[in-house]
Amino acid sequence: MQQCPPSPRRLRTLCRLMLPGLLVLLPALAAARAPESLALWPLPLSVEVSPRQLLLAPNNFFISHGPNSTAGPSCAILQEAFRRYYEFIFGFNKQHYGPTRTPTGTELQQLLVTVVLDSECDAFPGISSDESYSLLVKEPVAMLKANRVWGALRGLETFSQLIYQDSYGTFTISESTIIDSPRFPHRGILIDTSRHYLPVKVILETLDAMSFNKFNVLHWHVVDDPSFPYQSIVFPELSNKGSYSLSHVYTPNDVRKVIEYARLRGIRVLPEFDSPGHTLSWGKGQNDLLTPCYSAEQPSGDFGPINPTVNTTYSFLYKFFQEISKVFPDQFIHLGGDEVEFHCWASNPKIQNFMKQKGFGTDYKKLQSFYIQKLMDIIAAVNKKSIVWQEVFDGSAKLQPGTVVEVWKAEKYPEELTKVTEGGYPVILAAPWYLDLISYGQDWKRYYQVEPLNFYGSQEQKKLVIGGEACLWGEYVDATNLTPRLWPRASAVGERLWSHGDVRGLEDAYNRLMRHRCRMVRRGIAAQPLFTGYCNYEESI
């Protein structure tokens, strides 16, 4: 229990809590007394809650720009967010509340949002976006301050989580002071739209739920072996031939919609175009891109990874990634590079020749490195930075400084973190957070208890861990089960990546997460239950 129960009868003195290391634990109290009250998720860095409660009247409360804010009504990010959060706070009940005034002195009438520095209203969020904010809730006007709009968005979410309905249905908030900023700058969710196509509606809903959990990266694993749903402008045959059907595609308009919807929520869209393996679906629309496999000196008719030995491959990749670099505004592109099967390369006489010519012997890792380096040069040429799966680092390709390595193999991942950071590369952790690997019971606890910095290494090495991702691979997931499978399990990862490393208590997490899940349900997200029990507003699902 890092926050105080907002019960005025119980505590007369200001309950001053938080700041890591100085935690005052009040288990059971908050949970037992206030089932619908404070359930901050992820827990902010510092929370002070006073016993003094303020009431909010839907017809006499509004969110607006502070007088000194660098953002104003022309800032779409905030205008849209004000409207969204008003809806989340007062929800479906607002029409039931007439203009009845509450006694003055106990009412919160306004939230003023002030952006201090250049607002970045019209920009895209990036890896170094400032998401910090401070929130002062005091009668009659609450103040939310942030350096940039990104922090304002996070603060609005927190503000909405502070408000609850008491047993009479009155919207209530405790006077409080919150100072908050994320522990890691990269907090991602991976979705896989190749193994199963996900309708745009489902992706947008996921972005909403991500913002409720302060995630800020949608890692979009767009294409893979089974299907190629990305509709390329330059190479339309890729999806014409490689998608499941012509209705299972993302048009340029769909992609723009996703990117803008994400931007409005302070979420980056990180596209992954995995190669040279995991590319079967590319081959259908792009002749001669994949390696023909041989069986007994004859082409077998099967295809392997991208053919790294021909120039046409690289001219294709250059044009393709030129398009990708324009369509996706993020500074990074995920290049994949995982699980490259060598047997098809090894079977092909032309590739064998090439290997000989290059002096690679039979070390196909060298061929893989050759390919990846040419690809990373292309990415640099289109002014983007690369993220790769850990094999690329393991395969000892010379990575450009600043290339981000994503660690996904569960076995001995702390050792891998040590190695990658020893090499001086920034790293993203996904290994312990493969949410598609379901099991019976409360597996969220396992995700929650992961400590990303729990590996052998110097302070400088630890600083290279820029964050993590919860991955929901698509073998067994589509629109029918994505939302309940992702939430609230991914929320556990959300708090691990946002909150201070000392926030680890499972019982407290359970009590908050249970209520956070009910809040998501109330907002229309079909988040599944943690355990036996109920929510007050289950009907919205």
Partner 1 sequence: MAGSTLWFSLLLAAATAGPATALWPWPQYIQTSDQRYAVLPKNFDFRYHAGSAAKPGCSVLDQAFQRYRHLLFHSASDSPTGRTEKQYAAEKNTLTIFVATPGCHQLPSLESVENYTLTINDEQCFLLSETVWGALRGLETFSQLIWRSADGTFFINKTDIVDFPRFPHRGLLLDTSRHYLPLSSILDTLDVMAYNKFNVFHWHLVDDPSFPYDSVTFPELARKGSYNPVTHIYTVQDVKEVVEYARLRGIRVVPEFDTPGHTLSWGLGVPGLLTPCYSGSKPSGTFGPVNPILNSTYEFMTTFFLEISSVFPDFYLHLGGDEVDFSCWKSNPDVQAFMKKKGFGEDFKQLESLYIQMLLNIVSAYGKGYVVWQEVFDNKVKVQPDTIIHVWREEAPVNYLKELELITQAGFRALLSAPWYLNRITYGPDWKEFYMVEPLAFDGSPEQKALVIGGEACMWGEYVDSTNLVPRLWPRAGAVAERLWSNSRVTDLEFALTRLTNFRCELLRRGVQAQPLNVGYCEQEFEQA
Q: In 114-216, which residue ranges form alpha helices assigned H by DSSP? A: 149-162, 200-212
Stretch that binds partner 1, among 41-49, 263-271, 405-413, 523-531 (CB under 8 A): 523-531
- How far apart CA 206 and CA 491 sit, in angstroms, is 12
Nearer to partner 1, 376 or 482 (CB): 482
Choose which of 151, 292, 474, 494 interacts with partner 1 (CB under 8 A): 474
Burial of 235 (0-12, 13-18, 19+ CB in 10 A): buried
- Is 91 a binding residue for partner 1 by CB under 8 A? The answer is no
Interface of this chain with partner 1, residues 442 to 461, rule: CB under 8 A: none
Residue 539 annotated as catalytic: no
Helix, strand, coil content of the chain in percent (nearest 5): 35, 20, 45
Q: How far apart are CB 407 and partner 1 at their closest, in Å? A: 20
- How far apart CA 188 and CA 261 sit, in angstroms, is 16
* Contact between residue 183 and residue 502 where contact means Cβ atoms under 8 Å apart: no
What DSSP line would sit under 123-134, residue for residue?
S---TT----EE
Residues 195-214 as x/- pattern, contact with partner 1 by CB under 8 A: xxx-x-xx------------
* Contact between residue 225 and residue 473 where contact means Cβ atoms under 8 Å apart: no
Tokens 């809903």, residue?
A: 205
Nearer to partner 1, 53 or 281 (CB): 281
Strand partners, 180: 133
Nearer to partner 1, 27 or 533 (CB): 533
Which tokens hold the place of 280? 């079967």
Q: How many residues bind partner 1 (CB under 8 A)?
A: 43
- Is 440 a binding residue for partner 1 by CB under 8 A? The answer is yes
- Is 510 a binding residue for partner 1 by CB under 8 A? The answer is no
Tokens 């288990």, residue?
A: 27
Q: How far apart are CB 207 and partner 1 at their closest, in Å? A: 15
- Is 277 a binding residue for partner 1 by CB under 8 A? The answer is no
Choose which of 477, 492, 493, 509 interacts with partner 1 (CB under 8 A): 477
- Is 226 a binding residue for partner 1 by CB under 8 A? The answer is yes
Residue 455 per-residue DSSP state: S
Interface of this chain with partner 1, residues 479 to 498, rule: CB under 8 A: 479-481, 483-485
What DSSP line would sit under 28-79, residue for residue?
THHHHH-TTS---SSPPSEEEEEEEEEEE-GGG-EEEE-TT-S--TT-HHHH
Interface of this chain with partner 1, residues 236 to 265, rule: CB under 8 A: 244-245, 247-248
Nearer to partner 1, 166 or 394 (CB): 166
- Is 136 a binding residue for partner 1 by CB under 8 A? The answer is no
- How far apart CA 541 and CA 143 sit, in angstroms, is 33
| Rounded to 5°, angle at Cα 252 from 189 and 384 | 60
- Is 439 a binding residue for partner 1 by CB under 8 A? The answer is yes
Nearer to partner 1, 422 or 478 (CB): 478
Q: How far apart are CB 195 and partner 1 at their closest, in Å? A: 5
- How far apart CA 250 and CA 239 sit, in angstroms, is 9
Nearer to partner 1, 316 or 487 (CB): 487
Stretch that binds partner 1, among 109-117, 162-170, 343-351, 474-482 (CB under 8 A): 474-482
Among residues 237, 339, 415, 460, the one annotated as catalytic is 339
- How far apart CA 73 and CA 152 sit, in angstroms, is 14
Choose which of 62, 300, 476, 501 interacts with partner 1 (CB under 8 A): 476
Choose which of 104, 128, 298, 532 interacts with partner 1 (CB under 8 A): 532
Q: How far apart are CB 541 and partner 1 at their closest, in Å? A: 5
| Rounded to 5°, angle at Cα 249 from 247 and 250 | 130
- How far apart CA 527 and CA 524 sit, in angstroms, is 9
SS3 of 104, please? coil
Residues with catalytic roles: 339
Binding region for partner 1 (CB under 8 A): 195-197, 199, 201-202, 226-227, 244-245, 247-248, 436-441, 474-481, 483-485, 521, 526-534, 536, 538-539, 541
